[in-house]
């Protein structure tokens, strides 16, 4: 096992779906995977491996925020040889162009996290971006499945509660929605030369104050889960 994941070598597939919420990992694994086996309960950050349409796939919770996601992502890559990660998360809509329940594909990750400065030093404002092959594949898979998607820039916030955020400026510059992990995931994917894509469902909207009910959230998240799994099994490289 690694420091934070209680799996033996080879218990984790090379393609991983990664929700922030470990209970969403359990839900996705138990709802969609055949023969799901829970390989880790360390800190209740559940991880499962099973098959989808006959292909081996894992689902691992990341926790909330870049520091937590970075722990699981780094161990998955360095200790378990993971090559492809799909983050499947909830987000708050920021732009008037996105509505509650929309599925968003994260093309790029903006952030107020210090991870970029800590990596590159002053003066370099690195742009973490999605793997283009996965982005393109997910976009067309969604079209085939009748799921409408929006594609764009996602703001990974260090703080969930932040009344100092300049929402207008970020949306004026094209940011669609906020969550707390994508920029960190894309940065680590670039560092370790793996593929990563974020797929999000808009669970609430910062402009309107609307929020999905628990029931609505589950149905909307189902679209995101099916899109991620279908994209994953049709685009495995290893």
Ligand X SMILES: O=c1cc[nH]c(=O)[nH]1
Residue 53 CB neighbours (<10 A): 12
Q: How far is the CB of 159 from ligand R1P (least distance, A)?
A: 10
Q: 15 or 198: whose CB is closer to ligand X? A: 198
Distance spanning both ends of the chain, measured CA to CA: 22
> Tokens 């779906």 map to which residue?
17
Q: How far is the CB of 20 from ligand R1P (least distance, A)?
A: 2
Q: How far is the CB of 157 from ligand R1P (least distance, A)?
A: 8
Nearest CA to 84 out of 17, 5, 21 is that of: 17
19 binds, among ligand R1P, ligand X, none (CB under 5 to 8 A by kind): ligand R1P
Q: What are the DSSP calls for 147-186, one per residue?
A: --EEEEEEEE-S-SS-TT--HHHHHHTTEEEEESSHHHHH
User: How far is 80 from 9, CA to CA, in rounded Å?
Assistant: 6
Residue 180, marked binder: yes
Q: 9 or 160: whose CB is closer to ligand R1P? A: 160
204 binds, among ligand X, ligand R1P, none (CB under 5 to 8 A by kind): ligand X
Q: How far is the CB of 17 from ligand X (least distance, A)?
A: 17
**Residue 164 neighbours by CB under 8 Å, 6+ apart:** none
Residue 43, marked binder: yes
Binding site for ligand X (CB under 6 A): 90-92, 160, 178-180, 203-204, 206
Binding site for ligand R1P (CB under 6 A): 19-21, 64, 89-90, 160, 179-181
Q: 160 or 173: whose CB is closer to ligand R1P? A: 160
Q: 37 or 211: whose CB is closer to ligand X? A: 211
Beta partners for residue 86, in sequence order: 17, 197
The angle at the Cα of 83, spanning 140 to 158, to the nearest 5 degrees, equals 80
181 binds, among ligand R1P, ligand X, none (CB under 5 to 8 A by kind): ligand R1P
184 binds, among ligand X, ligand R1P, none (CB under 5 to 8 A by kind): none
Residue 90, marked binder: yes
Residue 4, marked binder: yes
Residue 158, marked binder: no
Residue 101, marked binder: no
165: left (phi over 0), alpha (psi -120 to 50) or beta: beta
92 binds, among ligand R1P, ligand X, none (CB under 5 to 8 A by kind): ligand X
Known catalytic residues are 204
Q: 94 or 194: whose CB is closer to ligand X? A: 94
Residue 102, classed as helix, strand or coil, is coil
Nearest CA to 104 out of 141, 60, 154 is that of: 154
Beta partners for residue 2, in sequence order: none
Binding-site positions for phosphate: 20, 24, 43, 87-90
């Amino acid at each position: 096992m690694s420091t934070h994941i209680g799996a033996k070598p080879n218990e984790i597939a090379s393609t991983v779906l990664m929700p922030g919420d470990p209970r969403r990992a359990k839900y996705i694994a138990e709802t969609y995977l055949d023969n799901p086996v829970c390989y880790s309960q360390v800190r209740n950050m559940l991880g499962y491996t099973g098959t989808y349409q006959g292909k081996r796939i894992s689902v691992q919770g990341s926790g909330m925020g870049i520091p937590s996601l970075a722990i699981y992502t780094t161990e998955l890559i360095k200790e378990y040889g993971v090559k492809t990660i799909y983050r499947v998360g909830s987000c708050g809509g920021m732009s008037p162009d996105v509505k509650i329940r929309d599925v968003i594909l994260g093309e790029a990750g903006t952030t107020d996290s210090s991870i970029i400065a800590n990596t590159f030093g002053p003066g370099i404002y690195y742009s973490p971006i999605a793997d283009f092959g996965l982005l393109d594949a997910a976009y067309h898979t969604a079209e085939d499945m009748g799921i409408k998607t929006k594609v764009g820039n996602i703001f990974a916030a260090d703080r969930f509660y932040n009344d100092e955020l300049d929402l207008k400026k970020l949306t004026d510059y094209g940011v669609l929605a906020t969550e707390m992990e994508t920029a960190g995931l894309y940065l680590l994917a670039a560092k370790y030369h793996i593929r990563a894509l974020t797929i999000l469902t808009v669970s609430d909207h910062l402009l309107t104050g609307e929020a999905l009910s628990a029931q609505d959230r589950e149905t909307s998240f189902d679209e995101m889960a099916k899109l991620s799994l279908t994209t994953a099994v049709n685009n495995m490289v290893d």
